Each structure stands twice: as C-alpha cells, then as structure tokens.
Amino acid sequence: MNNETTLRATSALLPENCLAPRLIVFERTGRWAVALRRELSDRLSSSQEIRIWETRGMEACRRMLSESPSALVVAEATRANIEELLAYVAQWSREFPASRIAVVTERSLAPYEAILRETAAVHVVYSTRQLREVAGLAIQHLRRAAMPLRTIHEQIWDDLPWG
C-alpha cells in the first residue's frame, strides 16, 4: 500500500466538521516558521501559497490538530521539551492517524532521532538549510490529505486514459 492509498484510507476516519489540512509549526521563537515560509515561497507560485499556523505551546498545537486532524505538524525539539515532545508525538500519532509530524531541532539532539522516528516523526532536520525537504513533504502531504475520498469506481474511471 503506497502513501497515497494510506492517506485516503485514513481520511475516512476524519470527522465531517473538521477543517482542511493545515501546516502547523510548533516552536518557541518563530525562526523555523520564517525559514519554512521562505522555502515554500521558493517552491510555490503566489497563487499556491500555503498558510503556516504557528503555535508556541503543545496544548495549543493539540487543539489545532483536533480542528484539523490531517495536518502536518513541524515541531521543534529542544533540551527543555524533548521528553514531553516524545510523549506528545506518540499520543498525536494514535489520536490523529491522518496527521504527520516532522521534527526540527539542533544537532546536539541527534541521538534522539531514532526514537523520534519510532514514535512517528516522518522527518527530522537539524538546520534551517535542510527545510527544503520539509517543504516538499508539506506540499505533498497537504495536497494528498485534501483529496476528496472517491469510490473504487471513481478511482478506476479517473485512471482510464480517456476518463
């Protein structure tokens, strides 16, 4: 099963009144959001702009996720919040299965990468210069998560060369 199929399948789990998928950046300073905006603007035209929803606290991030359960969260790991973040990432991945979480952090926290990935982080970066990959992930995830669910007949018809 490829990622596209997985995202469509998990979209069926979303409540009817939830908002469209969001790009949520949870960090303390705003540094990562600024760099991610720059990276997204380099990759997208002005008509394709992706809004970044910023939050400074984990509970606020969780509230945003409950409003948009198929969001992509970019969460900053710091020495002060790494333990709490690990618990939240594991909880969010169970509570919001259609969401994805990327972690941004400093190089000194590299030993935590394996456990972050085990708890559901789809990507971990250590520098704002590495955000190109996160921007690509965001574009891809938000496009797929926003796709309407289709029946098997609609999928087959749409895939026909004359469809």
Read off the DSSP letter of residue 110. G
**40-95 residue pLDDT tens:** 988 876 657 788 999 999 899 999 999 989 899 999 999 999 999 999 988 988 99
Contacts of 95 (CB under 8 A, 6+ apart): 65
Domain boundaries, the chain: 3-159
Q: Which tokens go with 146?
A: 């926003």
Count of CB atoms situated within 10 Å of the CB of 85: 23
Residues 108-154 have pLDDT tens digits of: 999 999 999 999 899 999 999 999 999 999 998 888 876 555 677 77
pLDDT score recorded for residue 24: 96
- For the chain, the C-alpha Rg in angstroms (whole number) is 16
In the prediction, which pLDDT does 50 show?
84
CATH fold of the domain at 3-159: Rossmann fold (3.40.50)
Rounded Cα distance, 128 and 146, in Å: 27
pTM: 0.77
